[in-house]
Structure 1
Amino acid sequence: MSSATTDPHPEPATSSRSRGLVLVVEDEPAIADVIRLNLTKAGYGVHIERRGDTVLAAVARLRPAAIVLDVALPGEDGISICRSLRAGDDWTPVIFVTARDDEVDRIVGLELGADDYVTKPFSPRELVARLGGVLRRTHGVPDATPQTVGAVTLDDVRRRVFTGSDEVALTVTEFDLLAHLMHKPGRVFTREQLLSAVWGYSSVAGTRTVDVHIAQLRSKLGQASPIRTVRGVGYAAEHRAAPS
C-alpha cells in the first residue's frame, strides 16, 4: 500500500485502546480531518484510507471496531466494499457517508448490511453519536438467558441467532432490532419507538430505515420469522407470526 493511501498521521496506540479503532474511508482530506479530529476527541483511535481499493486489506490488517465509509470513492465504491465485507462474513459495524440525500442510495446500503448512515453535509457530533450508538449496542451488557420466540432463538451473550439448529448471520443493527422485539414478545412497537430504542435517534426519514431492516430480518429468518406487522401501528414479535 502506498503512503498516499495510508493515514499519514496515525493516532497513538493508547487512543485506539480506549474506545476502539475506527477505520475512516474518505477521499476528501478536509472531511477526513474533521472526522479524525472529532473521533479522536471522543476517545477513538483513527486510521484513514483515501481509496476504496485499499479498504479490504486495511480491515484485515487492523480489525477495526467500526468503519465510517464514504459511498463515492476512487478505486472502489462504498456499496461494493460493504457487499464484499458481508459476503466474506465480516460483520464489522459500517456507517455509510453519502453525498446525496437519496433514499434509494440509503436503502441499498442498508440492505447490503450497513448499520447506519449520515448524509453530507453532516454534523461531526451527530456522526460521533451515531457511532457511539452502534458500538454500545455491540458491546452492551447482554441478557444471559437466551430468548426464544417461535422457532427463533436469540443468544445475547454470544450475539447469535438460530432458527432451529441453523445459525443466521445478522448485522449489529439487525440483531439489536430483533432482540428489542423478542425480549418483549407480543408487545407492539411503533416505528418511532424502534428507531429511538435501537438506533438512539429520531428522524423524519428514519422510519423507512426501520422498514428496511425489518424486511431484511424477515428475508434472513424465512418462514421462522416471528415478526408481525400491525398495520398503521408498527411491529411485534409473536410466537406464531401472522401473514402480513
Structure 2
Amino acid sequence: MARLLLVEDDDTIGRALSASLAAHGHEITWQPTGRGALETAARGPLDLVLLDLGLPDLDGVAVCRELRTTQPDAVVVMLTARDEEMDVIIGLEAGADDYLTKPVRLAELHARIRAHLRRGTAAPADGPIVLGDLALDTASRRVTVSGSEVTLRAKEYELLVRLAAEPGAAVRRETLMSEVWDEHWFGSTKTLDVHIAALRRRLAEAGAGASLPAIVTLRGHGYRLDPPG
C-alpha cells in the first residue's frame, strides 16, 4: 500500500480522486491547501504526491520546491488546468516528476501512479562507466565529474545510465520512456525532454572545462550520448 498525498482545493475533485485512489488500495491524505500539504509532508515519508498547482494560499510551484526538500524520495505529479508549455516546464524544473492536465482521466491517472511507484531503474552495467571526466558507479548510484560528485534526481540518473550504457548509439524516445519510466506508459513524453534538459544543465554546471560526453537530440527519434572527443 502506497502513502499518497493529494493536494487539491476543489472539493468535488478532491473527494472523487480520494475515493478512487483509496479504492485502488492506497493510503490517502487529502489536503486542500499548500500549507496543509507541507504540514503533512513534515510528519512522515510519502511515496507520491498529487499536487494541484492552482492552490488558494500558496503558489503550487513553490510548494513543489519545498516538497523536494522535505520529501526528496517521493514522486511529485502535478495536476494542472494550465496546459501552456511554459507552466508545465516551470513545474517540472521545480522538481516535479510528471504532470497531468485537468480534467484528469482516472484510467490515465492510475496508470501513471502505477508506473511511478514501480520505480523501474535502468539496467545496471557490469561495472563503473567512464566517459572522459564523467564516471558513473552503478553499484552506489554515484555520478562524478573530475572526481567531484554530482547530485542528480532519480530519473536524471537513470536516463544518464541508460544512455551511457550504449555511448554513441541512438536511443528512441519510446525506449527511454519504457525503460526509465514504465513499459505501459502512455500520454505526453514532454517530461522526458525536461529531464534531459535538466540533466544537461547539471552536468554543464558541474563540469566547466571538463571533458564530458554530449547528449544529442535526434529530432523525430530520440537521444544519443556521444563520448567526449
Establish whether TM, by shorter chain, passes 0.5: yes
Residues 34-73 of structure 1 correspond to what in structure 2 (within 5 A)?
A: 34-73=16-55
- SS of the equivalent of 1:76 reads coil
Paired amino acid for 1:189: V
2:124 to 137, 143, 152: 143
TM-aligned CA deviation for residue 108 of structure 1: 0.8
CA contact (8 A) 1:65 1:92 kept: yes
- SS of the equivalent of 2:149 reads strand
Deviations, residues 89-136 of structure 1 (Å, cap 9, x unaligned): 834210000012221111111111210000001112211211221221
2:66 to 79, 84, 99: 84
Paired amino acid for 1:143: P
Structure 1: where are the runs of 5+ without partners? 1-17
1:226 to 204, 213, 228: 213
CA contact (8 A) 1:82 1:112 kept: yes
CA contact (8 A) 2:41 2:70 kept: no
The aligned counterpart of 1:236 is 224
TM-aligned CA deviation for residue 228 of structure 1: 2.4
The aligned counterpart of 1:117 is 99
TM-score after normalising by structure 1? 0.78
Paired amino acid for 1:33: R
CA contact (8 A) 1:145 1:155 kept: no
2-side partners of 1:177 and 1:132: how far apart? Answer: 19
TM-aligned CA deviation for residue 88 of structure 1: 6.2
2-side partners of 1:136 and 1:156: how far apart? Answer: 19
2-side partners of 1:209 and 1:226: how far apart? Answer: 22
TM-score after normalising by structure 2? 0.82
2-side partners of 1:141 and 1:219: how far apart? Answer: 21
1-side partners of 2:38 and 2:90: how far apart? Answer: 20
Structure 2: where are the runs of 5+ without partners? none
Q: Does 1:215 align with 2:203?
A: no
Task: Sort the Cα spacing of 1:185 and 1:129 in 2 relative to 1 into closer, same or farther, 3 A.
Answer: same
Paired amino acid for 1:235: Y
Further displaced range: 25-34 or 83-92: 83-92
1-side partners of 2:147 and 2:71: how far apart? Answer: 19
TM-aligned CA deviation for residue 173 of structure 1: 2.4
TM-aligned CA deviation for residue 160 of structure 1: 3.8
Task: Sort the Cα spacing of 1:87 and 1:165 in 2 relative to 1 into closer, same or farther, 3 A.
Answer: farther
TM-aligned CA deviation for residue 202 of structure 1: 4.1
Task: Sort the Cα spacing of 1:88 and 1:61 in 2 relative to 1 into closer, same or farther, 3 A.
Answer: closer
Q: Percent identity?
A: 37
The aligned counterpart of 1:11 is none
- SS of the equivalent of 2:119 reads helix
Paired amino acid for 1:65: D
CA contact (8 A) 1:93 1:115 kept: yes
